[in-house]
Amino acid sequence: MRTEICEKLGIEFPIFAFTHCRDVVAAVSNAGGLGVLGAVGFSAEQLEIELDWIDQHVGDKPYGVDIVIPGKYEGKGETDVAKLEKQLRDMVPEEHRAFAKKLLADHGVPELPEGEEARQLLGWTAATAGPLVENTLKHPKVKLVANALGTPPADVVAEIQATGRLVGALCGSVKHAIAHKEAGLDFVIAQGYEGGGHTGEIGSIVLWPQVIDAVAPLPVLAAGGIGNGRQMAAAMAMGAAGVWTGSLWLAVEEAESPPAQKQSYFDATSADTVRSRSWTGKPCRMLRNDWTQAWESEGNPTPLGMPLQYMVTADAVARSHRYADKAQKVAFNPVGQIVGVMNEQRSTREVIQDLVEGYLDATERLNKLNENV
């Protein structure tokens, strides 16, 4: 199953794992895949701490970093972070803040301790992502950088490629995939509708082969709904250079998700997710709960765009993380439809082994069918 991108990166299996948790990044890379740290929620200083930690825990294995520079967002063009934040804060209607506060209060979720305030502007603007990229490039074991929600700006692409690293981006449509190719990216991640986090409207089995054909010979990593080796084999059979997974890692032993949140994932079926703009302002797949329903109900405020909506919801994200056991009905639980088979806690190594063995079983099954022809 070693594809060309595995050779370039020096990994054993074409299994890419997106996660916000450094322990999972290290565990995946140590198990032969490529752990990719989602950087959007970290300040540049915190990211530096996380990357130092990973460097110390992956031996000589490579890993990746994921950034978020959207193609479209409120305040695009402003490069001064302080000015941008002020401009954005002024744009948030008080009605939205009051509505979010009331939802949490009605569900009995405690306030953050006195003096603590959640960060409202994350790394999802060009201005706030720049320092994350700079810190990333100081770490030689980072061999790949991926961008979500758009084609990264040309200067960022050039900066990363000048260091010899691979740069790619996620897409949910052929149009976006072609834009990535035209910008000179080294690979594309095609994420289908069923995937966790920000996601488009086309299902994986339809999207993957279209993107693979549209950008050939650029390598395409298949994302969205992959939870076992059979699905991995299907993606590889269509011509994917590897699989890019996210949801699977939310509930592994090494993941720092609060136990109550892991339990919500274990309890959910594949029918329990929804694509909602209610946390980040862009369509994102998550568990349906009182929060997502409330923001969709008529008469209530409509979610703002990115990054304004998160300026409203940052406090709720922090509170529902800290008081997870009290907050599940109004918590942000991003995950894909594959949640329906995430029913128990496993170690990262077990999940990787399961993917590899399932892939081998599936290919053997096909080989046997072919023998009978």
Ligand X SMILES: Cc1cc2nc3c(=O)[nH]c(=O)nc-3n(C[C@H](O)[C@H](O)[C@H](O)COP(=O)(O)O)c2cc1C
Question: Which residues make up the interface to ligand X (CB under 6 A)?
Answer: 18, 38, 40, 66, 68, 146, 148, 170, 191, 194-197, 223-226, 244-248, 250, 334-336, 338
Residue 319 structure tokens? 């509170």
Q: Which is nearer to ligand X, 101 or 346 (CB)?
A: 346
Question: Min. distance of Cβ 198 from ligand X in angstroms?
Answer: 6
Q: Name the closest residue to ligand X (Cβ).
A: 246
Q: Are 33 and 15 in contact (CB under 8 A)?
A: yes
Under DSSP, the state recorded for 221 is E
Q: Are 74 and 306 in contact (CB under 8 A)?
A: yes
Question: Min. distance of Cβ 122 from ligand X in angstroms?
Answer: 9
C-alpha to C-alpha distance for 323 and 331, rounded to whole angstroms:
10
Q: Which is nearer to ligand X, 98 or 341 (CB)?
A: 341
Q: Which is nearer to ligand X, 101 or 322 (CB)?
A: 322
Residue 112 structure tokens? 């953050």
Q: Which is nearer to ligand X, 37 or 312 (CB)?
A: 37
Question: Min. distance of Cβ 37 from ligand X in angstroms?
Answer: 10
Q: Which is nearer to ligand X, 48 or 280 (CB)?
A: 280
Q: Are 22 and 5 in contact (CB under 8 A)?
A: no
The DSSP secondary structure of 63-93, one letter per residue, reads EEEEEE--SS-TTTT---HHHHHHHHHHHS-
N- to C-terminal Cα distance for the chain?
A: 24
Question: Min. distance of Cβ 16 from ligand X in angstroms?
Answer: 9
**Of 128, 149, 91, 104, whose CA–CA distance to 313 is shortest?**
104
| 3-class SS of residue 279 | coil
Q: Are strands 273-276 and 284-287 parallel, antiparallel or unpaired?
A: antiparallel
Question: Min. distance of Cβ 108 from ligand X in angstroms?
Answer: 25
Q: Which is nearer to ligand X, 75 or 123 (CB)?
A: 123
Q: Number of C-alpha atoms within 13 angstroms, CB side, residue 188?
A: 34
Question: Min. distance of Cβ 262 from ligand X in angstroms?
Answer: 12
